[in-house]
């Protein structure tokens, strides 16, 4: 199945951050499976404090029914063909041009590194960066 990167900010975000003197950035991500592909949905922690925010916005943008779960830290997806496969963090070193993917989502659990095979080649988002996926 294809792997699609859905950065919730424009790709120029990292270039702008580097120009502004930012050396490091921390992002969150979730892996969402739809019938068409696995989606690596990511955004900076300063804008997306919780993994649930990533899931909610992905569902809204793709017109996938979802509701706030009984626990406020969860978004339940109503379409049974769409599923969240965990999440984690991305530590981005803009000076060294390195991204490290690691950790787990408190709400959605750990990601499966096998779902991220080929991630570096799947989007220009990672162009010029060394990508390290912890767990592969």
Q: What is the CA radius of gyration of the chain?
A: 14
Domain of 16, CATH number, reads 3.50.20.20
pTM: 0.89
- pLDDT averaged over consecutive 10-residue blocks of the chain (136 residues)? 84 73 87 95 92 94 87 83 96 90 94 89 85 82
How far is the C-alpha of 76 from the C-alpha of 83, rounded, in Å?
Answer: 9
CB neighbours of 68 closer than 8 A, spacing ≥ 6? 74, 75, 76
Please state the domain count of the chain: 1
């Amino acid at each position: 199945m294809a792997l699609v990167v859905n950065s919730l900010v424009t790709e120029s975000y990292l270039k702008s951050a580097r120009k502004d003197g930012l050396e490091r950035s921390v992002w969150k991500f979730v892996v969402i499976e739809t019938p068409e592909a696995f989606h690596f949905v990511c955004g900076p922690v300063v804008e997306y404090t919780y993994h649930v925010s990533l899931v909610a916005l992905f569902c809204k943008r793709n017109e996938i029914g979802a509701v706030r779960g009984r626990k406020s830290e969860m978004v339940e997806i109503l379409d049974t063909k769409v599923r969240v496969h965990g999440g984690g963090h991305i530590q981005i070193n803009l000076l060294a041009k390195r991204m490290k993917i690691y950790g787990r989502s408190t709400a959605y659990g750990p990601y499966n590194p096998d779902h991220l095979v080929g991630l570096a080649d799947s989007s220009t988002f990672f162009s010029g960066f060394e990508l390290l996926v912890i767990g592969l």
